[in-house]
Amino acid sequence: MPKETFKATAVLQEGVKVDVQARNFHITIDEPPALGGTDAGMNPVEMLLGALGACQSIVARVYSQKFGVELEDFRVELEGDLDTDGFMNKSDVRRGYSDIRYTYHITSPSPEENIRALADFIARTCPVDDTISNPVNVVRKDLVIEKIIEQNI
Amino acid sequence: MPKETFKATAVLQEGVKVDVQARNFHITIDEPPALGGTDAGMNPVEMLLGALGACQSIVARVYSQKFGVELEDFRVELEGDLDTDGFMNKSDVRRGYSDIRYTYHITSPSPEENIRALADFIARTCPVDDTISNPVNVVRKDLVIEKIIEQNI
């Protein structure tokens, strides 16, 4: 079954801190004090860039041999432009990233043309790159409300 | 300056393990053994779902008061469909997620209509939701190749 369903859970903690879970793994996400957080972790838009870089790195490793590339070191530097007026509800600009740019730093003894072919291949093959570059059908499946009655004890 | 540039770095470790960095924070990303990894962390497509859930959670916290909602508990369960034949280069299907679904679990003493209004607002306001739902201009800025000469010592 090539179509797989991946899962994650986000649980809001105190303030804007979030415990992100996938299988048995946990990541703490937070915002800096300027954005109302306690700076206990990277924030969601940094995490998104990180997911893209991690995905590209894994594609590089998995396919390096096929392209005749020995990877001594592989690093991706990513940056994304985001107009925070959107999130602050101050303007009708798009809420998310308009542009994301990345630079590969590759240390290798292999022929340059092989390295360039691998680098071009990564962008075409990376699932996170495709997910961000192209539209995805993101929908709310359900909204479960548990009412509690406040009690004065 | 509302237009901000966020940054992250991904550094490939042994195998398919990746050290994701943003400011002073680190996250270890890996794949399960079936996908060639050592299962030292969640994988990039789980991380992407987690970034979406974290972002939604933070929007919920930041805007809950504006909607008259007291958040006792807030949790997002996310799932995404991905045809792994794409990444395996076995078919021309899209490489990334085709569909992502999420369910909010909200525990609150507040009126249900306020909670529903907040829930609807989250999707419209969350930067990561917009980034994934709509096309983003993702480009390679540079490819830096450091050649090394292999030496037999």
- Residue pair A83/B119 in contact (Cβ under 8 Å)? The answer is no
| Residue entry with tokens 């700076």 | A39
Does B13 share its domain with B65?
no
- The rounded percent of chain B whose pLDDT value lies above 70 is 96
Distance from C-alpha of A129 to C-alpha of A125, rounded to nearest angstrom: 8
pTM of the model: 0.96
Residues ≥6 apart with Cβ < 8 Å to A69: A106, A108, A110, A114, A115, A118
How wide is the angle at C-alpha A45 spanned by C-alphas B8 and A5, nearest 5°?
105
**Residues B75 and A7: beta-carbon distance below 8 Å:** no
User: Residue B151: which pLDDT band, with cuts at 50, 70 and 90?
Assistant: low
**Tens-place pLDDT, residues B6-28:** 999 999 999 999 999 999 999 99
Residues A14 and A38 placed together within one structural domain of the fold: yes
pLDDT in tens, chain A (153 residues): 579 999 999 999 999 999 999 999 999 999 999 889 999 999 999 999 999 999 999 999 999 999 999 999 999 999 999 999 988 889 899 999 999 999 999 999 999 999 999 999 999 999 999 999 999 999 999 999 998 776 666
One domain, residues A121 and A75:
yes
Q: Which pLDDT score is estimated for B1? A: 56
Please tell me the distance from the alpha carbon of residue A41 to that of residue B21, in angstroms, as a whole number: 10
Q: How far is A153 from chain B (nearest CA, A)?
A: 16
What pLDDT is attached to residue B35? 85
Same-domain pairing of A72 and A127: yes
Q: Does A83 touch chain B (CB under 8 A)?
A: yes
Q: Do A27 and B4 make contact, defined as CB atoms within 8 angstroms?
A: no
Q: Is residue A27 part of a domain?
A: yes
Q: What is the pLDDT of residues B21-47, one digit of tens each?
A: 999 999 999 999 988 999 999 999 999
Same domain, A25 and A63: no
Helical (H) or strand (E) element with B78: strand B73-83
pLDDT at residue number A1: 56
Task: Please name every residue paired with B79 in a beta bridge, in sequence order, or none if there are none.
Answer: A7, B101
**pLDDT band for position B70 (50/70/90)?**
very high
Q: What is the pLDDT of residues B89-145, one digit of tens each?
A: 898 999 999 999 999 999 999 999 999 999 999 999 999 999 999 999 999 999 999
Q: Is residue B13 part of a domain?
A: yes
Q: Give chain A's domain count.
A: 2
pLDDT at B148: 78
Whether A71 and chain B come into contact, CB under 8 Å, resolves to yes
Are the CB atoms for A7 and B81 separated by under 8 Å?
no
Beta strands B97-108 and A137-147 are: parallel
Alpha-carbon distance B132 to B151, whole Å? 45
Q: How many CB atoms lie within 10 A of CB B73?
A: 12
Rounded to 5°, the CA angle B32-B35-B37 comes to 50
The domain of A35 spans 7-42
- Whether B58 and B31 share a structural domain: no
B130: contact with A, CB 8 A cutoff: yes
Q: Does the residue B54 lie in any domain?
A: yes
- Looking at residue A147, its pLDDT comes to 86
User: Residue A150 has what pLDDT?
Assistant: 60
Q: Give the residue from A66, A136, A151 with the most B CB atoms within 10 Å of its CB, the best one to mutate.
A: A136
B153 pLDDT exceeds 90? Answer: no
Q: What is the ipTM of this complex?
A: 0.95
CA distance B143 to A107: 11
- Judgement on whether residues B96 and B129 belong to the same structural domain of the protein: yes
Query: What is the DSSP annotation of B80-149?
Result: EEEEHHHHTTSSSS-SSEEEEEEEEEEEESS-HHHHHHHHHHHHHH-HHHHHHHS--EEEEEEEEEEE--
CATH number of B69's domain? 3.30.300.20
Q: What is the DSSP string of A3-64?
A: EEEEEEEEEE-STT-EEEEETTEEEEE---GGGTS---S--HHHHHHHHHHHHHHHHHHHHT
Helix (H, G, I), strand (E, B) or coil at A109: coil
Provide the 8-state DSSP code for B23.
T
